[in-house]
Structure 1
Amino acid sequence: MRVAVVGAGVGGLACAVRLAHAGHRVTVLEAGPAPGGKAARVERDGFRWDAGPSLVTMPHVLGDLFRATGRPLEDELELVRVEPVTRYRFADGSSVELSADVPRAVAALERWSPGAGDDWMAFLGTCAAMWRASAPVLEGPAPWPPSRPRPGDPRPSPSSLVRVRPWWTLRQLARAHARDPRLRMVIERFATYAGADPRRAPAALALAGYVEHAFGAWHPRGGVHEIVLALARRLEALGGELRLGTPVRRVLRRDRRARGVLTDDGVVPADAVVLNVDAERALGPLLGRPPRRPRERSLSGLVTLLGLRGATPGLVHHEIRFPADYDAEFDDVFAGRPPREPTIYVSASCATDPGAAPPGHENWFVLVNAPAAGDAADWGAVADAAIARLGVADRVVVRAARTPGDLDRESGAAGGAIYGAAPHGRLGTLRRPGNRVRGLRGAWLVGGTVHPGGGLPLVMLGAATVARAVGPAR
């Protein structure tokens, strides 16, 4: 069967590799000059940055993808453990480092705030039960609208809904488990990994932090973009084709079935079409339907890439600096304006992978939450303020940016919304668009804006679900 995959992000490439291994003739069509989508790479003057995802969790998902389609992951990539996972700094001047090793994390928390270690263990216990209930949903088809499971698909237990605590928001979960307000902020931070406000996000988003303990935190040698390159190599080895600089204008249909796509270079016939495209854009212009604007878009982000001279004492791979007023940040962002004092996330991959910066220098990826407002703000001023708070302005030798508008133009994320619709509401994670395009046979959706959600492992799980649904070549 001929399959056209629109978009060479991680989700599209992962699905294309599985389909090519299943015997299909696969063509991946990417509008940009390079594969990767949000998982892009920027190189300048000897510095290298990942411009999107900066951490790998659930490495078994990546390992399964490569093992199931040919040679094992170890033949393609080297994963390096990141320790500590994250250092958290607070407005009162205190800080704590969390390890993926639970005893080390608990000991650090107890030294920082007596009782916090016990609270963290109780939180992880709750998350473990939530994970057991959530895993079958993440690994299978979208739960809504309900459908009969296909042979081999996981079957969620009726009690699963109770275990994910749908009556709690993430903030309520944090307050039920952590006495120290600073530890509550750490737990609430996990909402932003899905582009949400912790006051309105479902408690299940706490699992973003849980998986760092359960499966570790990892960095591919050379950067996260190496995953993209490895998938492109695997696709080529399996006989698939990757066409860059080939924007798709429309999905073609006949008799209520996808029949190919229209590009600037002409028609690409296909018996099935997989759209690795922002759901808002896919379900609107590409399918010839009225524009579909979600109830509320997720967070975007302003990325500032810094090449710094000199060495930072005690540099860690990941650091988060919280503001004095965490609620004000979300009030600002979801009102459509840049936050006056944002949380600052710094990823310095050179702490784990020294080759990412020239000797005696450091590569800093600096991210602040931003509204999905495209170019509607003075992002340069926002970046200047973040650099001033970090205290590194006098060390900058190279600087680049990726604004919400850039993210929109380069990856197709509507307005720059990283995760599509914001998963607000106690069942918000269950209301993402499903992988099957309703009303059009042979058309599918993958990527971080559809089921099962954003983040590298989840988009790869969604790709596997779609590949199973398409089935082997006949």
Structure 2
Amino acid sequence: MGNNAIIIGSGIAGIAASIRLANKGYQVEVFEANAYPGGKLSEIEIQGYRFDAGPSLFTLPEQVEELFRISGKNPDDHFQYIKLPVVCHYFWEDGTRLNAFADLDQFAQEVEQQLGEPAVHVHAALERSSYIYQHLAPLFMHRSLHRFGTWVNKDALKSYFRMGKLGVFSTMNRANEKHFQNPKVVQLFNRYATYNGSNPYETPATLNIIPHLEFNIGAFFPNKGMHDITLSLYRLALDLGVKFHFGQKVEEILVENGQAAGVSIKGTRHTAELVVTNMDMVNAYKTILRKQKQPKLLLNQPKSSSALIFYWGIKKDFAELDLHNIFFSENYREEFSHIFQKGTIYHDPTVYINITSVYKKDDAPEGCMNWFTMINVPNNQGQDWDRLIKEARKNILKKLNRILQTEVESLIEVEDILDPRTIESRTSSANGALYGNSSNNKYAAFLRHANFSSEIKNLYFCGGSVHPGGGIPLCLLSAKIMAEMIPEGK
């Protein structure tokens, strides 16, 4: 009989952790409070329309494929995806439109033709993004920042001498304003701060690493939708013998003699040699680790932004819209000031619309589209969300009507809404923040919880609220970093 491990939560990192530990010889059980796996990476279906409920951008697919390979399976037999020919369609109020082509030369030419920004500036920006990735990814994305060996290996030593060029001492906006002439191009590249719920006017320029993933490597779409990432990995875990228990809310992590000993659910003890929590780190300490020493510095860090999402079934096909579409605010700085300083929603928000039916036709009835319509909003601090949602819906519709020259509301056939309150209740994310602690200062990377507990032996952490951060690739890497710390099961 091998060692056994308990994982709390079946978000994408929890599923990945179960696969990695099963491959190490552990008997793995996953306890999930919800009735389904995937956490934020789930789906909803309403009257013939299917929506991916949460993350909508897919990068670094090799992180998914690796989980199949280490399990002795060919990824192509279990999970298929395509590379997008156009990464995103951009729209501005003055009628300017831009297609962000996946082909770098084509994209740079499009920026020059539509916005007058020299193509060489775009190429130079993506080369800088590649440079940051090359020097920081091995250090920040693939290793624990909380182990001595990370800081004395050759990758780290190389990076110490490049901190200025890596953007540590500047903000994302300042770096982009320095390198681009057209404010619209600055805005386009500032947008990448939202990928981890940050403010481009405060977050370090190191986050200019993100365009590298999207352009130099590529953006992708799973053939069966984003939810297939969850389902394919869930099936893989089941094949490896992982046991999932749904509707089972963990009440406490049991700690005996300074060591994790299992979990308690409805008064019943479930023992294990090691425990992994995929739960939001802040809420985990407030609930299932409430009796343990609290890492107050980390718990008190400002949280990332949240989201307000309208799932709209639209009874029309818009030829000018693609999988990813952005309708920019006229005053980006003011929009972020409202989110992070004022804790409210700007009257002219940037609107993101994800439409999977462009590639997956059965996600909407014929001649219709499934609009995942999202704006960035503050996390939940007790605002009057009912009023804010009503106002935001009205402002979003006005904006889309102006830019698309149409009457959107009359086309809405079905509607569902996700707001910071429901994000918090469904995914146990502290304050409904999408990415845990915010990254709005240069030390943010060091203010994420480690993938292990320094106080409790055999207790480990994975998911978007701990190192290395939020978003699908980083969540999968958190499981990998965590699993590499654990010895082989007997």
Whether TM-score is above 0.5 comes out as: yes
Residue 105 of structure 1 aligns to a residue in which SS?
Answer: helix
Instruction: State the partner residue of 2:349.
Output: 342
Q: Cα gap change, 1:385/1:223 in structure 2, threshold over 3 Å: closer, same or farther?
A: same
Structure 2 contact 324–352 (Cα < 8 Å) conserved: yes
**Which deviations, in whole Å up to 9, do the C-alpha atoms of 1:360-391 show, x marking residues without a partner?**
11001011011111663222332232133223
| Equivalent of 1:5 in 7, 32, 42 | 7
Aligned mates of 1:199, 1:139 — CA distance in 2: 23
Structure 2 contact 348–399 (Cα < 8 Å) conserved: no
Q: Could you list the runs of 5+ residues in structure 1 that have no partner in the other structure?
A: none
**Which deviations, in whole Å up to 9, do the C-alpha atoms of 1:322-370 show, x marking residues without a partner?**
1111111111111211222211001011112112111111001011011
Aligned mates of 2:95, 2:153 — CA distance in 1: 47
| Equivalent of 1:244 in 243, 246, 260 | 246
| Equivalent of 2:462 in 412, 429, 446 | 446
Task: State how 1:1-400 maps to structure 2 within 5 Å.
Answer: 1-143=3-145, 145-149=146-150, 156-161=155-160, 162=163, 163-264=165-266, 266-288=268-290, 289=292, 290=294, 292=296, 293-334=299-340, 335-373=342-380, 376=383, 377-378=385-386, 379-391=389-401, 392-400=408-416
Aligned mates of 1:165, 1:219 — CA distance in 2: 30
Q: Cα gap change, 1:260/1:431 in structure 2, threshold over 3 Å: closer, same or farther?
A: same
Q: Could you list the runs of 5+ residues in structure 2 that have no partner in the other structure?
A: 402-407
Shift of 1:155: 5.2
Percent of aligned pairs with the same amino acid = 28
Q: Cα gap change, 1:165/1:297 in structure 2, threshold over 3 Å: closer, same or farther?
A: same
RMSD (CA atoms): 1.8
Shift of 1:106: 1.0
Q: Which residue identity is paired with 1:189? A: R
Aligned mates of 1:384, 1:306 — CA distance in 2: 14
**Which deviations, in whole Å up to 9, do the C-alpha atoms of 1:202-246 show, x marking residues without a partner?**
112122221111221111122111111111111111111011100
Aligned mates of 1:217, 1:348 — CA distance in 2: 15
TM-score, L = length of structure 2: 0.93
Q: Which residue identity is paired with 1:55? A: L
Structure 2 contact 307–378 (Cα < 8 Å) conserved: yes
**Which deviations, in whole Å up to 9, do the C-alpha atoms of 1:39-80 show, x marking residues without a partner?**
110111111101111121011111112111231221112102
Q: Cα gap change, 1:59/1:154 in structure 2, threshold over 3 Å: closer, same or farther?
A: farther
**Which deviations, in whole Å up to 9, do the C-alpha atoms of 1:93-113 show, x marking residues without a partner?**
212111221111111111112
Structure 1 contact 246–265 (Cα < 8 Å) conserved: no
Residue 466 (structure 1) aligned with residue 473 (structure 2)? no
Instruction: State the partner residue of 2:405.
Output: none
Worse overlay, 252-261 or 108-117: 108-117
Shift of 1:38: 0.9
Aligned mates of 1:176, 1:471 — CA distance in 2: 48
Residue 86 of structure 2 aligns to a residue in which SS?
Answer: coil
Task: Count matched residues.
Answer: 471
Aligned mates of 1:414, 1:433 — CA distance in 2: 14
Task: State how 1:397-436 maps to structure 2 within 5 Å.
Answer: 397-436=413-452
Aligned mates of 2:158, 2:170 — CA distance in 1: 16
Q: Which residue identity is paired with 1:388? A: K
Aligned mates of 1:211, 1:456 — CA distance in 2: 12
Q: Cα gap change, 1:110/1:312 in structure 2, threshold over 3 Å: closer, same or farther?
A: same
Structure 1 contact 138–458 (Cα < 8 Å) conserved: no
Instruction: State the partner residue of 2:404.
Output: none
Q: Which residue identity is paired with 1:338? A: I
Q: Cα gap change, 1:380/1:36 in structure 2, threshold over 3 Å: closer, same or farther?
A: farther
Q: Which residue identity is paired with 1:353? A: K
Residue 230 of structure 2 aligns to a residue in which SS?
Answer: helix
Structure 2 contact 129–210 (Cα < 8 Å) conserved: no
Residue 288 of structure 2 aligns to a residue in which SS?
Answer: helix
Worse overlay, 61-70 or 355-364: 61-70
Aligned mates of 2:153, 2:224 — CA distance in 1: 35
Residue 141 of structure 1 aligns to a residue in which SS?
Answer: coil
